[in-house]
C-alpha cells in the first residue's frame, strides 16, 4: 500500500519540482484522516448565545490539539471558544525571510442536516452514472446535476449513506491541512517558512470568527481552506446590505372603519409587486447581484419587509439601494396616507476591496494549483466567508478549494483525488511563499 502511495505522489508532482519525486508519504493518507474526522459529530446550532454554539465541537478540537502536538507543531492550544491554534515552525536557514502564512478550516457542520453517526461510503473506482445513496434511495447524486462526476471516473468517491450530511464542509479542509503538516514532517527537504494553523467553530452559524485572536494567531496572510471544486480560488465575496421597509397605516374596528382605516398591507403588496424580476436570487447567477425580499410582517397598522441587497461591486450595490428607494417613492405616491420609510444597513464588504492590494495571495495560490496539475480558476463567492471578516480585520484571507461538492446537504461528496490534490496544492503553496520570500 505504501509503495503505491509513493508512486501516486511522485506522478502527481511536476517535473519542475523533481526533488519532490522521492517524497515520503504521510503517516496517514488524507482520505484516512478525513474518514476519522467525519465520524465526530460537530454540528453547530443557530441562535445560541455561547461560542461554541455546541459543546461537542470541543471533541474534535481536543483531538486536533493532540494530533498537532504529535506532528511537531508548537504552541498548540484550544481557546475557551474552542478555537485550535498552532504554529508549524519553518525549516529555512533564516525563517524571518518568509512571511508567516496562516491556514484555517472550520470544524463545525451545518445545522441544516444531522452530522451524527456519519456512515461514509467509499464508491471505489467509480465507473460513471448516478450514485444512489444506500440508506435512503431517494437521495441520488445524479450526473445531470453534478456534471463534475464525468471527470471523476476511476476515482474513489466518498459520500454519506443518505441519512446525514458527510461533513466534507469543512473536514476536508482540516484533513488536507493536517496531511500537509504530516507530509512536511516526513520530508524535511521541503522548504517552508512558519505556518500558523487554526481550526475554528461555528462558521456555519457565523459566530466563531468573532472570537478569533488574529494577533495570537501570528500570520501576516492566511487562507481559509473551505471551497469546493478542485482549482477554484475565491478572492471575492458579496458586498452586502439589508434594507427594512416599514409601512405605517391606521387600524380601527372594521365595523366603524369608514374613512378612518388605512390598511398598510396594500402598500406592502404594491411595493413587493415592483421588485424587478431580473434582479432576484432566483433569476441571477455568476457575477450578477440581486435584491431579495426574504421576510416581513403583513398587518393593517404596520407592515414591513426586509430585503437583502447583494453585489460584488459597491457601485452595483449603490444602484440597487437607489432602486429600492425609488420603489418607495412610487408606492408612497400611490398610497399617500401610508407612512413609508426605508432603512439600509451595511452587513459586510467584498474582500476584494482589500485583497486587490495583495495580488500575490491569489497569484501564489494559482501557481500552487498549477504545480499540482490543476487548472486554477477564480470563483467569486455568492455569499460571505470567515475570510472576508478576517480580511477587513487586518488578516487578508482568500479561500481555497477542498475538492468537496454539494455542501450542507445529504448529497455532499468528495473523493480520494479531491483530498490528495488539495493537500498537494497546500504543499506547493507553502513552498512558493518560501521561494519568493517577503
Binding site for Zn ion (CB under 5 A): 169-170, 226
- Of 235 and 246, nearer to Zn ion (C-beta) is 235
Which residue's CB is nearer to Zn ion, number 169 or number 412? 169
**Minimum CB separation from Zn ion for residue 168, in Å?**
9
CB of 106 to Zn ion, least distance (A): 6
The greatest distance separating any two alpha carbons of the chain, rounded to the nearest whole angstrom, comes to 89
| Candidate list 41, 108, 311, 321, residue with the active-site label | 108
Residue 238 or 335 with smaller CB distance to Zn ion: 238
Are 280 and 264 contacting, i.e. CB atoms less than 8 angstroms apart? Answer: no
- How many Cα atoms are found within 13 Å in the side-chain-facing hemisphere of 283? 9
Q: Is 203 a catalytic residue?
A: yes
DSSP 8-state symbol, 255? G
By beta-carbon proximity to Zn ion, the closer residue of 202 and 226 is 226
Let me know: does 81 contact 201? Beta carbons within 8 Å: yes
Q: Which of 155, 170, 202, 203 is catalytic?
A: 203
CB of 80: closest distance to Zn ion in angstroms?
Answer: 23
Q: Is 108 a catalytic residue?
A: yes
Nearest to 209 by CA among 364, 19, 55, 81: 81
Task: Tally Cβ neighbours within 10 Å of residue 95.
Answer: 14
Q: State the minimum distance, in angstroms, from the CB of residue 226 to Zn ion.
A: 4
**Closest distance between Zn ion and the C-beta of residue 423, in Å?**
17
Find the helix packing angle between 314-334 and 264-273, rounded to 10°: 140
Cell of 228: 469546493
Nearer to Zn ion, 207 or 296 (CB): 207
Backbone region of residue 255 per phi and psi (left: phi > 0; alpha: psi in -120 to 50; beta: other values): alpha
Nearer to Zn ion among residue 155 and residue 170 (C-beta): 170
| Separation of alpha carbons 173 and 56, rounded Å | 19
Grid coordinates given for 305: 419587509
State how far the Cα of 395 lies from the Cα of 319, in Å rounded to an integer: 29
CA distances from 403 to 168, 227, 273, 422 (A): 9, 7, 41, 7
Decide: 53 and 82 in contact? Cβ < 8 Å. Answer: no
Task: Measure the CA–CA gap between 294 and 247, rounded to whole angstroms.
Answer: 16
Nearest distance from C-beta of residue 43 to Zn ion, angstroms: 13
State the catalytic residues: 108, 203
Amino acid at each position: 500500500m505504501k509503495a503505491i502511495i509513493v508512486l501516486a505522489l511522485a506522478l502527481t508532482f511536476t517535473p519542475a519540482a523533481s526533488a519532490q519525486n522521492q517524497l515520503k508519504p504521510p503517516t496517514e493518507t488524507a482520505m484516512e484522516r478525513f474518514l476519522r474526522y467525519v465520524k465526530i459529530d460537530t454540528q453547530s446550532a443557530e441562535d445560541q448565545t455561547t461560542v461554541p454554539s455546541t459543546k461537542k465541537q470541543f471533541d474534535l478540537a481536543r483531538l486536533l490539539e493532540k494530533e498537532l502536538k504529535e506532528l511537531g507543531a508548537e504552541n498548540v492550544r484550544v481557546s475557551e471558544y474552542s478555537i485550535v491554534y498552532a504554529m508549524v515552525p519553518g525549516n529555512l536557514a533564516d525563517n524571518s525571510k518568509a512571511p508567516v502564512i496562516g491556514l484555517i478550516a472550520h470544524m463545525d457542520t451545518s445545522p441544516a442536516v444531522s452530522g451524527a453517526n456519519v456512515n461514509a461510503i467509499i464508491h471505489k473506482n467509480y465507473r460513471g452514472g448516478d450514485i444512489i445513496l444506500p440508506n435512503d434511495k431517494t437521495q441520488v447524486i445524479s450526473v445531470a446535476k453534478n456534471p463534475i462526476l464525468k471527470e471523476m471516473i476511476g476515482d474513489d468517491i466518498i459520500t454519506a449513506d443518505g441519512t446525514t450530511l458527510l461533513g466534507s464542509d469543512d473536514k476536508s479542509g482540516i484533513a488536507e491541512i493536517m496531511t500537509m503538516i504530516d507530509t512536511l514532517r516526513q520530508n524535511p527537504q521541503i522548504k517552508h517558512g512558519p505556518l500558523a494553523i487554526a481550526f475554528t467553530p461555528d462558521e456555519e452559524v457565523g459566530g466563531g470568527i468573532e472570537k478569533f485572536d488574529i494577533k495570537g494567531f501570528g500570520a501576516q496572510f492566511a487562507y481559509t481552506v473551505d471551497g469546493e471544486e478542485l482549482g477554484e480560488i475565491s478572492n471575492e465575496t458579496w458586498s452586502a446590505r439589508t434594507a427594512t421597509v416599514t409601512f405605517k397605516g391606521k387600524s380601527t374596528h372594521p365595523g366603524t372603519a369608514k374613512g378612518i382605516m388605512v390598511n398598510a398591507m396594500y402598500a406592502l403588496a404594491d411595493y413587493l409587486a415592483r421588485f424587478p424580476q431580473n434582479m432576484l436570487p432566483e433569476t441571477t447567477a455568476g457575477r450578477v447581484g440581486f435584491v431579495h425580499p426574504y421576510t416581513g410582517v403583513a398587518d393593517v397598522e404596520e407592515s414591513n419587509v426586509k430585503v437583502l441587497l447583494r453585489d460584488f461591486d459597491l457601485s452595483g450595490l449603490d444602484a440597487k439601494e437607489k432602486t429600492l428607494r425609488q420603489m418607495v417613492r412610487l408606492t408612497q405616491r400611490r398610497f399617500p396616507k401610508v407612512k413609508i420609510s426605508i432603512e439600509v444597513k451595511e452587513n459586510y464588504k467584498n474582500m476584494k476591496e482589500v485583497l486587490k492590494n495583495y495580488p500575490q495571495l491569489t497569484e501564489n495560490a494559482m501557481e500552487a494549483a498549477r504545480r499540482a496539475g490543476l487548472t486554477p480558476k477564480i470563483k467569486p463567492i455568492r455569499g460571505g466567508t470567515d475570510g472576508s471578516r478576517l480580511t477587513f480585520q487586518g488578516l487578508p484571507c482568500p479561500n481555497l478549494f477542498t475538492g468537496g461538492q454539494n455542501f450542507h446537504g445529504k448529497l455532499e461528496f468528495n473523493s480520494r483525488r479531491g483530498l490528495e490534490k488539495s493537500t498537494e496544492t497546500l504543499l506547493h503553496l507553502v513552498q512558493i511563499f518560501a521561494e519568493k520570500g517577503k
